Amino acid sequence: MKLLNKTGFQVEDILNDYVKGYPVENLSVRIVHTKENAQTPYSGVCYYKKDKIRVSVNPKNSYPLKIKTGSPFDRTSWEFYLINSAEELISFVFLHEISHYLDYKNGLAVRCKQTKADKFALWKMNKL
């Protein structure tokens, strides 16, 4: 896996540890700050066919940060978790996108799997 970290947060070792044993040798990961006027605390995107993931975190975030996970289709089952640092937030978003990437690489459907990807990230981070 090739990591390009533009944030200054020290996450390379932990992210590499999280994906040991997974087929990510062709994956490129870019970690950046959100745009200056961004209203969201973070974002992530997986470009399946290009083997690329982008993780963005807002440098204006205050920690601990409460994140909401669960199904956007069932508005009654939201769960909340505290993220204690930018490094933890980068890890969460990265692992969420890795879940989608691994599904694609294994020939599984990639749509409508936000809750599964959240759970995978939280499980790998020992928050479940």
User: Domain range spanning residue 93?
Assistant: 2-124
pLDDT at position 2, please? 97
> Which of 42, 25, 36, 49 is CA-nearest to residue 86?
42
Q: Which residues of 36-55 are buried (b: 16+ CB within 10 A; e: fewer)?
A: eeeeebbbbebeeeebbbbb
Domains in the chain, number: 1
Output Rg (C-alpha) for the chain, integer angstroms. 14
- Using one digit for the tens of pLDDT, what is the confidence trace for 56-107? 999 999 999 999 887 666 666 788 899 999 999 999 999 999 999 999 999 9
pLDDT band of 122, cuts 50, 70, 90: very high
